[in-house]
Amino acid sequence: MLIIISNCTLKTVVKHHGVHFLEKKYESLNVSTSNKNDILRLFGPPSTKSTFDNDIWIYIERKTTASELKSLGRKKLLVNNVVILEINNKGLLIKKSFLNNSDMNKLTISKNETSVMDRKDTFINSFLGSLKQKINDPLGKRKAK
C-alpha cells in the first residue's frame, strides 16, 4: 500500500511544447534592428516558416496539464502563445505580433465560399481530352464505341 501511495504525486505535471518563455523573448526583439541571426539565437528555428513577399516565421508555446480526477484526466490548457515575425529580404525584422489564448478566441473564420469551376467547361480539360484522344488514336482510324 505504501508503494502505491508513494507513486502518486501531488504536484501537477505540466507538458510544454514549443519555445519556453515566448513572451519574454518577444519583448527583447526590436523592429528594424533585430535580424535573422538575433532571432535564431534567441528563439531557435521557427515552428513554421513561409515565404511570400517577406519571410514569415511563426513560433508556438503551449503548456497543458492533466486536470483533476473529477474531469477524468482531460487536458487543461494553461498557456497558448504564438509569435509571428515578418522579416524582409535584407534579413531585418519589420513586423512582430504576439497572440495569446484570449486573442485567439477573438479570431473569426470567414463564412465565404469559393466557387468551383465545372470540369466540363474548362479549357485545360478540353485540351487534355483532345490530346488523350490523339495519343490513343493517332491516325483517327479507330471506330467510335
- The string of pLDDT tens digits covering residues 61-98 is 988 887 665 556 677 888 889 999 999 989 899 999 99
Q: How many CA atoms lie within 13 A of 11 on its CB side?
A: 5
- DSSP H helices, 1-145, are 2-7, 22-27, 36-43, 101-105, 123-136
In whole angstroms, give the CA distance from residue 81 to residue 142.
65
What would the mean pLDDT of 95-119 be, rounded to a whole number? 75
pLDDT at residue 102, as a whole number:
77
Q: Rounded to whole angstroms, what are the CA distances from 132 to 71, 138, 145?
A: 60, 10, 16
Mean pLDDT lowest among 16-25, 41-50, 54-63, 70-79: 70-79
Class of the 2-106 domain?
alpha beta
Q: What is the tens place of the pLDDT at every residue in 121-133? A: 566 677 777 777 7
Domain extent listing, the chain: 2-106
Query: Residue 71: its pLDDT value, please?
Result: 58
